[in-house]
Amino acid sequence: MLKVSKLALSIMLGTTSCLTYASDIDAMQKQLQQLQQQMQQLQLQLQEAEKQSQQQAKKQQQLDSQVAKQQAQVEQQIATAEPKQKKQGIRVGGAVRTNFSHTSYDDGNKNRGGDFDFDIFRVNFAGDVGDVKLNAEIRFFDYMTAVKYAYAAYDFADDWQVQAGITKVPFGNWPYNSHNYFFGTTYYIGLEDDHDLGVLFKRKIADNWQLDLGFFKNDELGGVDGYVDDRSDRYSYDVVGFRSADEGIYDTPQQNAIGEYNTFSGRYGYHFEHNGGTTELGISALAGGLHDGVDRAGDYHAWAVHLNSTMGAWNLQLQHGEYQYDIDNVNRMAVGAYGFYDSIAAEATMTNANIAYSVPVEWGPVTNLQFYNDYGIIYDKSDNSTDTWMNVTGFSVAAGGLFTYFDLVHAKNQPFVGGSIAGDSDETERRFNINIGYYF
C-alpha cells in the first residue's frame, strides 16, 4: 500500500509540474505576442516618421527650386535691363515714295495715259537720351524741303508726357481724320495733321479718357516774320495772309501777310469698349491770334465733335465742326503748303464721314488690305464760294516694307484734284492715284 501511495504521489507531482510548465509557456507566448505587436507599432511609427521626413525633404527641395527660379528671374531681368540702357541713342528710318496719277482736269496727263513721278524721300529720327525722347522727320521733295515735326518729349508723371518743339496740334479724329493718301478735306484748311511750334501736354488713356493741351507760339516756319525764303515751303497748311478783292486765289500774299500766334488747343476723348471693339467720342477746340508783323490783326478759332469707332474689322469716323478767321472786312484767307499758295474762306462749316474695312491676309509678302470710302464737305462759306467736297474710294496694301494706296478720287473745288477751296467750279473732277512707298 505504501508503494502504491508513493507512486500516486509521484504521478500527482509530475502532473502538477507539467501543468505549471504549460502555464509558463502560455504566459511567455502572450508576452511574445505583445512584443511582436509593440514591434509592429514601432515599425509603423518609424515608417510614418520616414514618410514625414521624405515629405519635408521634398518640400525643402521645392522651396530650394523656387528660390533658385526667382533668383534666375531676377538675374534675367537685370541682364535684360542692362542692354536697354546701352541701346539709348538715335535710330534712323525713313521712306521713299513714288506716285502715279491719271486725271480728268489735265489734258496733257490724259493724253499721256497718266504720269509716274517721284513723290518724296523722308528721314525719321527717334530715340532716347537719358529720360528724354527725341523725334523728328524731314521731307525732301523735288521742289522743296520741309520739316514735318521735331520735338523732345519727357514723361513727367505716370500718365502725362510733355512735348516741346514742332509738334502736332491736337484737333479732331486722331491721328488722322481719313484713311486715304489725300487725307480729308480738313487737312487743306489746317485742321488735320497740322504741326506748329509750341508745347504739348498729353495725358495717356487712363480711366477711359485722355486729354491733349497745347500752346503754340507760332507756325513751324516762325510766324509772320520767320526767316524763310518762301512761307509756302511747309508740310501742313497754315494761314499766311488774307486776300484783298483784287488778288487771285493762288497769288503770293505780300501787302496782306499775317501769321498765327499764341494759339491754345485742346482735345478730349472718352473711350469705351463694346461688343467687337472700342469707340472714342471726343471734342476739340482751338483759339489764337493773327499778327501782321506789327500789330494784332485779328483772331481765329475752331471747334469739332468727333467719333472714331472700331467694330471688328470695321472702322467708322465721323466729324463735324466750324472754323473762323476774324479780321475786319475780310472773308477770304491765303494759305500755304507744298510750295504754293492757295485760298480758303475765312469762315465755314465742315463735315466728314469715313468708313474702312481691314482684312489680314497671307499672300506672299502681303499681310493686310484695307478698303475705305472717305467723304468730306466744306460749306456755308463766308466768301460765298461753291461748296468743296471730296470722296475717295480705294484700298491700301501692306507688304513688308512696302505700303501702297490705290485711290479713285471724285471732288469739286478741292486742292490737288483740279480746284481750290475758294474755287467756284460746278465741275466734278476725277483723279486715279497710286502711291507706292518703301519704308525702312
Q: In the β-sheet with 340-345, what is the strand arrangement from edge to edge?
A: 238-242, 332-337, 340-345
pLDDT at 65: 56
Residue position matching grid coordinates 456755308: 380
Among positive and negative, which fits the CA dihedral 108, 98, 173, 395?
positive
Q: Are 223 and 259 in contact (CB under 8 A)?
A: yes
Determine if the pTM surpasses 0.85.
Answer: no
Residues 24 and 151 in one domain: no
Residues 305 and 431 in one domain: yes
pLDDT at 36: 75
The DSSP H or E segment spanning 68 is helix 2-86
pLDDT digits (tens, 9 = 90+) for 34-68: 777 777 776 777 677 677 766 665 655 655 555 55
Residues 200 and 262 in one domain: yes
Residue ranges in the chain whose pLDDT is less than 70: 1-25, 42, 46, 49, 53-87
Residues 208 and 283 in one domain: yes
pLDDT at 6: 47
Residues 168 and 313 in one domain: yes
Residues 42 and 166 in one domain: no
Domain boundary among 87, 106, 135: 87
Residues, the chain: 440
Question: Partners of 164 in the beta sheet?
Answer: 152, 199
Residues 244 and 375 in one domain: yes
Give the other-Cβ count within 10 Å of 71's Cβ: 10
Residues 27 and 148 in one domain: no
Q: What is the domain count for the chain? A: 2
- For residue 62, report the phi and psi dihedrals to the nearest 5 degrees: -65, -40
Domain boundary among 65, 87, 109: 87
pLDDT at 86: 47
Cα-Cα-Cα-Cα dihedral of 81, 85, 88, 93, to 10°?
-20
Distance of alpha carbon 58 from alpha carbon 178, whole angstroms: 63
Distance of alpha carbon 194 from alpha carbon 131, whole angstroms: 27
pLDDT at 162: 98
pLDDT at 310: 97
Count of helices and strands (H, E) across the chain: 2, 19
Residues 152 and 283 in one domain: yes
pLDDT at 71: 56
Distance of alpha carbon 71 from alpha carbon 440, whole angstroms: 39
Domain boundary among 87, 112, 137: 87
pLDDT at 45: 75
Specify the pairing of strand 340-345 against strand 332-337.
antiparallel
Closest CA to 188 of 352, 316, 372, 327: 352
CATH number at residue 330: 2.40.160.10
Give residues with Cβ within 8 angstroms of 178, minimum separation 6: 184, 187, 192, 317, 352, 354, 374, 376, 392
pLDDT at 31: 74
Residues 116 and 164 in one domain: yes
Domain span holding position 412: 95-439
Residues 57 and 175 in one domain: no
Residue 226 CA, distance from chain mean position: 33
Among positive and negative, which fits the CA dihedral 325, 176, 90, 366?
negative
Residues 104 and 56 in one domain: no
